[in-house]
Structures are given as C-alpha cells and as structure tokens.
Chains A and B, each alone.
Chain A
Amino acid sequence: MNNQRQPTTTASAPEPDVRERLIQDMQREIGRFQRLSSRGLWALSLFLLVCLIAWSDFPLFPLPDRVVAMLGRPPSPQVISIALLIYTFSALILSLSRMTMAMEHRSSFSHVGYLTGFFLFYHYARALDDNYWAVIGAGVTILGVESYRIWTYCNEAIAKRREDLEYVRKTGRLPPEG
C-alpha cells in the first residue's frame, strides 16, 4: 500500500466571507439539482396531458380535411409507425448511453414535442385510433427511462455536493479533486 503523500502547502485560513460564499454556492447547486431531479416527472405529466387531448381528437386543432387540403396528403400510417419504432429505439439507446456516461442532459421536454408530433401525424392520417396506445407506450417508456436517468444523476450529484459542503464547513476550503 502506498502511504507516501505529497507534502501539502499550508495556506492561511480563508476569510469567513469566502467560506460563506462557498457554502452558499454549494447550497445553490444542491437546490438546482433538487429542482432538476423532478424534471422527468413534469415532462411525463405534460405528456399525459397531451394524451388526454389526443384522446379527445385534438378538439382545438383544425380538422384533418382542412389540414390535408392546405398541406397535401400526410405520410401513410405504415411510414409513421416505422418512424415511431426507429425514434423509440434511438431515444432509448441514447438515454441508456447517457446513463452509462453519467451525463447531465436535460432532454425530457423535447421528447414530449416529438411524441406530440407523432400523435398529430397519426391524427391527420386518420389512423390515431389504431395507433394511440403504441404512441403512449413509446412515450411512457422513453420518458420513464429519462426520468430515472435524471433522478439518479441528480441524487448522486446532491450526495457528492453534500459531502463537499461538509468538508467546506469543517476546513473552509474546497475538497481536492477526485
């Protein structure tokens, strides 16, 4: 076991206001991660709201006939289903790889946007009844994995920051890196 340590230079004790500033910065960081940890759940709630609107056939949106007349024919339901499959697979792979690398990436609300797009495409292709539950399944899966990823990342970051805060309170300086 290697017991040799690098000699540390002794510095003078930092002033109280520097220590207080460090403590406040760390507490702000902890608060930020606490707010971030529930981001996934907010995105899931927003997605469920979109699902309810889709269940009612998008009451405030223009009718499919008008949209088709303006924009032309939508893609066929088979093409939309293939796109949904590829999107679900890619999103899951991306989320799992971010989980592996412990990346702080806030992507939940963008998925709600993409899934709303799929609902609308199926609605205008008049195939929403047949594929409604598939979009919900994809959404719950992707947003569930994302929520879990963000929640575990934030929990680990909060635990680390709390350890650092304890160190700062005792010594008045930041802990060594690593």
Chain B
Amino acid sequence: MSPEMLYALRDQAGVPAHPLIFLALGVLTFALHMVAVQVMLGAASLTLWGAFQRDQQWRRLASAMLTTAKIAVSVAIVLGVAPLLFVQVIYDPFWYTSNVLSAWWVIGFIITLIAAYIAMYVFYWQNPNIEAEGGHSGIWMVISLILFLTVGFIVHTLSQQMFYPEKWMSWYAPNGHIDPTGLKLHQWHASRYLFFIALSSPIAGAWLIAYRRYLLGAGEIDKGYLNFLKSLSFKLIFAGGLISTALGSAWMLSLPEKMTWFMGSVWMWIALAALMIIVALPWVLQNKLDKGFGGYAVFAGATISLIVIGTSREMLRFVTLNMAHQYNALDYRINMDWYSTVLFFGTFAIIGGTTLAYLLTVAWQAGQTKEGIYKPSQTITRLGQWSVGLLVAWTLSYFAVGFWVWAR
C-alpha cells in the first residue's frame, strides 16, 4: 500500500482542529482507560483468589475488590470511548481497514464484552456475603476474566494490524482472490499484549495502597487488615514490576524490523523509567503512606507513569507509520470549526471540572463518614449549585443557538 493510497483513504472533510490536539487527547484518554482496565483486572483477580480463602482478611479484600471491579469496568468503558473516537480522527485509513479486515471479531468484541460484564454480575449476585460465607460459583468470575482478556486481545490485534499496510491486500485477497468474510485475526504481538496485561499487577498494588489510605482516613481500626494490605500491595508492585519489565524486554527484542528504531530510543528509556517509578514509589514514600497525600501519591504517580508509557506507545506508532509508510498523522488538512471546538473545551473544563469536583468530593466525604447522615459544607454545596446552574445554562444555550441557526 503506497503512501498515496493511504492518503487517499483519508476523510476528505479534514479535521476540525489541529491534529496534534487529537493525538494528545488520544494518548491521555487511552492511558486513563488503561488504568481503569488494569485496576479492573487486578481487582477481579484478587476477588477470585481472596473469596475462596479461609483467611478473613482475604475475604474482606475480595468483597471490596468485587465492588471495585464492577465500577472499574464501567469507568473503563466510558473512558475507552474517547481514545476510540480520537484514533478514528487522525488514523482513519489504518483503523477502518484493520476493523473491516477482521469484521466478525469487531462485532464479537461487543458480544464478548457484554458477556464478560454479565458474568461478573452473576458472580456478584451469587455472592452476596463473601466475608461471612466465602465465595462460590467462582466459574463465573473465571469466565468473566477470560472474556475480558479476549476483548483486550481483539483490540490489541486491531491496533497491531494498523501497522502493516503492506500486508493488507494479502490478508484481504490472498493470492489475488478476495476473501470478504472478515473471519480472521491476522496480526498480533504476544509480548506487547502481555506487557500491558501484566501492568495490572503493579497498578492494582498502587490501588491497594490508596484503598488502605482511604480506610485510614475513615478511622479503620483493624491494624491486621491494614498491614495485610500494605504487605500485599508491595508484593504486587514488586513482582508485577519485574514481570512487566521482563515482558517489555521480550517485546523490545521481538520488534519487527520497521519498529526496531524504537529499541534503545529515548522513548523506550522514558517508558522504562516510568515503569521503574511505579515500582520505586512505594519504597520512596514508605514513611509517608499513612498520612496526608502520601498514600494516594503512589496511585497518582502510577497514573502519570501510565500516561508516559502511553506517550511512548504513541510515538512508536506515529514514527513507525511516518518512517515506514510516509504517513504523517499531523499533516491532516485542518477544516477549523470554532463552535464545536470551543463547545468541547468549555464543557470539558468548566462543566466537567465543576461537576466532577462536586460529585467526587461528596462521594469521598460521604464514604469517610462512618456514622449518621453526611451533610456537605457550604462551600461544597455551592459547588453543587454551580454544577446544576451550569448544566441548565448549557441546555438553554443549546436551544438558543439551535433555534437561532434554524431561524436564519
């Protein structure tokens, strides 16, 4: 597939703002999506293990992690929508081709995801009281995890296939005969896929440290449980960091020729440094984990590290497609649309910022209130009133602008 053909596959309409903005937002939202995915995988695995232990601490953890896993799936799905949107804006020739080549797997993705989520809920419904009764019907959580990993593998493959325009025609029409079935997955990279899955161990460990800090803030008195959490989280981070490093090395050593430039590049070292920071943070902050922001800083640091790793991953894609196929994602024709650009950033920063700040503060403080009904302070309440006011104003402006355009 020549560069001219790749450019011919681009959407003629151009993009409504500078492509760099879509690239950056794609990296950011992909990284946040991955954090939620890794928390979900880690929490689900801990649930599966802990629910079937005799140890009460494990059972308590399993119960808490089951709630975490359920919510993390929702968060992962919601956050996953954004990178899915942005990849279509600047990498449309690659994304659409890859999807069409494996069409049935793309449809299978939806069905598998629904089945995975329902299986997790079935386990939840079957286990109303893990702490007292232990777990049963564990097969549902096993099924759920397998299906979630399958979903991840499908998306991994779709992303991998984007890298190989030179093979597209041989996949679509082997020996010149068209195969339009879309039944096959054509290209994957096991160590790359496993690297991102293995990261769920250190990320889940960082999450446990934050959970422990949250319990401390809420006046937790079970010292044994707190110590258990600390010990477990350190193990998860250390062992997971080692495994991730090993898999990352395997990935680097098996890079195909067009990507070997990445091996030993500054982007690889930056990603490795970010991974090391995830592993090192709990030890660096060891004496500060029980108070202030220290307990949460490990998870915050891990999230930032994931953004850095996500940036390196994007550079691998951007530079490879540029060097090997002369496709520059940043030279997409700009067809500036100020209305929708301002609308998004305004909504994101003002309404998103205000409303989420209000909701998350209330959720946080209500969760820390052990007895009685939680009543937010006047300042927080004012934030809530602002949130409602802004949403009403947004809705009114929608109709005002809409009727004005209609009437013109």
Query: Are A and B genuine complex partners?
Result: no
Q: Which residues of A contact B (CB under 8 A)?
A: none
